[in-house]
């Protein structure tokens, strides 16, 4: 009998750890070949956990690393130019310097927006800031939004500037599932912010930055040419999601995962309007950044979402239905070739770059690279 209780206890503890595990946890890929064919080119291989890569108006790649460094990287030579190293950044597990976006009118408004975690007493908090760029330097740090709950896991932190010049920011539940349904908390949300840090008057909740709620850990955010906003989001051990982000919508976490298909989820949805995911994965794959490819250099990917994946170590292409409400096709590429894939950047001319995050979760000493995808082998 004692052996039976011991066995059941082990099973219970293991299940709890899995449910609360970090989204990035993955089986190591022991020896990825950085250039298996001419289909890819390694641009740089000396980065410390790159998190955001994006194509700048100067035709350089702009990169954040979780240790606090922001750089410009020449996409043809790999030359890295450090712009700033933010001293206040606190890098713990999955936290650190995370998302970044540049002002769309960069020539007249040379502003760089970034999110990082910092220490406040015994707590980690997330901070949204703006820098001014000039002569390969970022300066004049201005805090736009502070005291956002953060933790070693589930920080969200993807940024996007909309066509009407509002900043969208994803936040995770910071490991506290109760925050996602709490409208008084900025955690587990998509936030909508004026570029000066104030609250837009037309936000769906009065005097609140909250644009949507009920999120667990959304790490991808992209505007489709049809005008819709889509996000990729980590589930626990089930129901990684693709969501269409709508003002005022509640995506259900932690009461609903993916679509409403259990008695408990049905009971919650009976009293709360829940917006279901348009696509989900069980078991989880750990989706990270989401982009939309309109280029023609790789015609197999034209007019499809491209998503980098951590746990399953691959690029996924997703075909969207004509009405924008369903994913109709999923394909996987480069599975296990480069280890964990964190982010993707696409140039206006259709060049595609990915950022790798090592071969196993938590390995900050591994080789972290930016790789250009030239073709599909």
> What CATH number is associated with residue 130?
2.120.10.30
* pLDDT digit string, tens, across residues 121-139: 999 999 999 999 999 999 9
* pLDDT digit string, tens, across residues 177-193: 999 999 999 999 999 99
Task: Count up the domains in the chain and report the number.
Answer: 1
Torsion sign, CA atoms 260, 264, 269, 274? negative
DSSP 267-303: HHHHHS--PPPSEEESS---EEEEEEE--SSSGGGTT
Decide: 29 and 356 in contact? Cβ < 8 Å.
no
Q: Is residue 1 part of a domain?
A: no
Query: In sequence order, which residues have a C-beta less than 8 Å from that of residue 277 and are 6 or more positions away?
Result: 233, 239, 241, 242, 243, 251, 258, 259
Place of tokens 């506290």: 176
Q: Give the separation between CA 190 and CA 367, rounded to whole angstroms.
A: 32
Among 344, 365, 338, 350, CA closest to 42: 338
Residues in the chain: 377
Q: Is residue 359 part of a domain?
A: yes
Containing H/E element for 78? Answer: none
Among 203, 140, 138, CA closest to 169: 203
Q: Is residue 62 part of a domain?
A: yes
Task: Give pLDDT, residue 27.
Answer: 34
Q: Is residue 229 part of a domain?
A: yes
For the cut 70, the answer to whether the pLDDT of residue 291 exceeds it is yes
Q: Is residue 7 part of a domain?
A: no
Q: Give the separation between CA 248 and CA 357, rounded to whole angstroms.
A: 34
The residues pairing with 61 across neighbouring beta strands, listed in sequence order, are 55, 73
C-alpha distances in Å from residue 18, one per residue of 5, 155, 197, 238, 284: 20, 18, 37, 10, 11
Q: Give the separation between CA 230 and CA 190, rounded to whole angstroms.
A: 11
Task: Give pLDDT, residue 362.
Answer: 72
pTM across the whole model: 0.91
Tokens of residue 250, six digits: 């509640």
Residues of the domain holding 230: 39-373
Task: Give pLDDT, residue 24.
Answer: 56
Query: Which band of pLDDT confidence, cut at 50, 70 and 90, is reported for residue 5?
Result: very low
Q: Is residue 49 part of a domain?
A: yes
Q: Is residue 2 part of a domain?
A: no
- Burial-class residue 224 by CB neighbours within 10 Å (0-12, 13-18, 19+): middle
Q: Give the separation between CA 129 and CA 146, rounded to whole angstroms.
A: 8
C-alpha distances in Å from residue 270, one per residue of 188, 205, 249, 256, 371: 21, 21, 15, 12, 47
* pLDDT digit string, tens, across residues 81-118: 999 999 999 999 999 999 999 999 999 999 999 999 99
What are the helix (H) ranges across 195-282? 263-271
* pLDDT digit string, tens, across residues 213-223: 999 999 999 99
Which residue spans within 29-185 are E strands per DSSP? 40-47, 50-55, 61-65, 69-73, 80-85, 97-102, 111-120, 123-134, 137-149, 159-161, 166-170
Q: Is residue 167 part of a domain?
A: yes
Q: Give the separation between CA 40 and CA 74, rounded to whole angstroms.
A: 17
Q: Give the separation between CA 97 and CA 114, rounded to whole angstroms.
A: 8
């Amino acid at each position: 009998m004692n052996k039976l209780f011991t066995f059941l206890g082990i099973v219970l503890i293991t299940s709890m750890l899995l449910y609360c595990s970090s989204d990035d946890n993955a089986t190591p890929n022991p020896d990825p070949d950085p250039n298996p064919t001419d289909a890819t080119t390694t641009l740089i291989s000396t980065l410390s956990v790159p998190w955001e890569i994006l194509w700048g108006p100067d035709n350089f790649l702009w990169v954040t690393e979780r240790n606090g460094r922001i750089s410009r990287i020449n996409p043809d030579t790999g030359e890295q130019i450090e712009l700033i190293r933010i001293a206040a950044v606190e890098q713990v597990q999955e936290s650190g310097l995370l998302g970044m976006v540049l002002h769309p009118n960069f020539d007249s408004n040379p502003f760089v927006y970034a999110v990082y975690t910092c220490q406040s007493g015994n707590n980690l908090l997330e901070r949204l800031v703006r820098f001014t760029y000039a002569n390969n330097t970022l300066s004049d740090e201005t805090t736009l939004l502070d005291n956002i709950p953060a933790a070693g896991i589930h920080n969200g932190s993807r940024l996007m500037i909309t066509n009407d010049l509002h900043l969208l920011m994803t936040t995770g539940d910071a490991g506290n599932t109760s925050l996602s349904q709490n409208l008084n908390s900025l955690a587990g949300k998509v936030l909508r912010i004026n570029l000066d840090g104030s609250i837009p008057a037309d936000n769906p909740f009065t005097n609140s930055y909250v644009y949507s709620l009920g999120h667990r850990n959304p790490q991808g955010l992209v505007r489709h040419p049809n005008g819709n906003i889509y996000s990729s989001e980590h589930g626990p051990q089930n129901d990684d999601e693709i969501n269409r982000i709508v003002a005022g919508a509640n995506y259900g976490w932690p009461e609903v995962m993916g679509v409403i298909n259990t008695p408990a989820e049905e009971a919650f949805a009976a009293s709360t309007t829940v917006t279901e995911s348009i696509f989900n994965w069980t078991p989880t794959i750990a989706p990270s950044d989401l982009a939309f490819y309109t280029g023609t250099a790789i015609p197999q990917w034209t007019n499809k979402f491209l998503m980098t994946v951590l746990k399953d170590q691959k690029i996924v292409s997703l075909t969207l239905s004509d009405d924008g409400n369903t994913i109709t096709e999923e394909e996987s590429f480069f599975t296990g070739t480069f280890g964990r894939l964190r982010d993707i950047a696409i140039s206006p001319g259709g060049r595609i770059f990915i950022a790798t995050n090592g071969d196993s979760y938590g390995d900050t000493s591994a080789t972290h690279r930016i790789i250009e995808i030239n073709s599909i082998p």
